[in-house]
Amino acid sequence: MLGTYDFCGYYEWTFDWLEREGGQQLLLDYWVESISNDSQRHARELIFRDGFAGMLEYWGHTLAEESPDLGYTITHRPDEVVRFDMQDCPSKGFLIRNGLEQHHDYCDHCVGWIGPMLEDAGFTLDHAHNHRAQCWWEIRRATDLTPASAPGELYAQDARLLPGWSADGATIDTWVRSTDPLGKTSQ
């Protein structure tokens, strides 16, 4: 039986299996069709119906369930922007702690399913992750041209200000006003 306790372990293994089986397109299709449209349809329903309030409700529940130690924070400016900072992502953190790495970039799966959902709901995304269980997200309406905040501007414990954010040659993948799973630049 497949269980939930080590879900992230075989989820990550599955990314590699799919890419070997059908190339990158099969994996991208999986994130959209299977995760975004099917598994996480409750997120879609909430965010399509309630917008920013739906995001706060969805991620407030799911992150509390996945990370009861609160390795994350959610901040927002009402009706303007929702921001997440992951100081210790429960999902990538599980993989790092257990030495699991089959796929070349596990963290891409988040934009892989969240990006298309936000685009369909009329939102856009600024996001970066450092592959060390740390990332940040800012979600605004697609019609809002406000750029991403400067480090610390919206939240004092901004992930970008963490001591390990860019230390020791960490590769940081960044999306700027993009919901495209392939829309990142790496630095």
- E strand map for the chain: 72-77, 81-86, 123-129, 135-141, 173-175, 185-186
CB of 7 to other proteins, least distance (A): 4
- Cα separations in angstroms, 148 against 6, 80, 138, 152, 170: 34, 12, 7, 11, 21
Q: Are 13 and 29 in contact (CB under 8 A)?
A: no
Residues 129-168 that bind other proteins (CB under 8 A): none
Q: Which residues contact 7 (CB under 8 A, 6 or more apart)?
A: none
Question: Binding string, 34-63, against other proteins, x = CB under 8 A?
Answer: xx--xxx-x-------------------x-
List 21, 79, 168, 169, residue binding other proteins (CB under 8 A)? 21
Q: Smallest gap, in angstroms, from Cβ of residue 155 to other proteins? A: 23
Q: Are 54 and 46 in contact (CB under 8 A)?
A: yes
Site string for other proteins, 63-92 (x = CB under 8 A): --xxxxx--------------------x--
- The residues binding other proteins (CB under 8 A) are 1-7, 9-11, 13-14, 17, 21-22, 26, 29-30, 33-35, 38-40, 42, 62, 65-69, 90, 93-94, 97-98, 100, 102
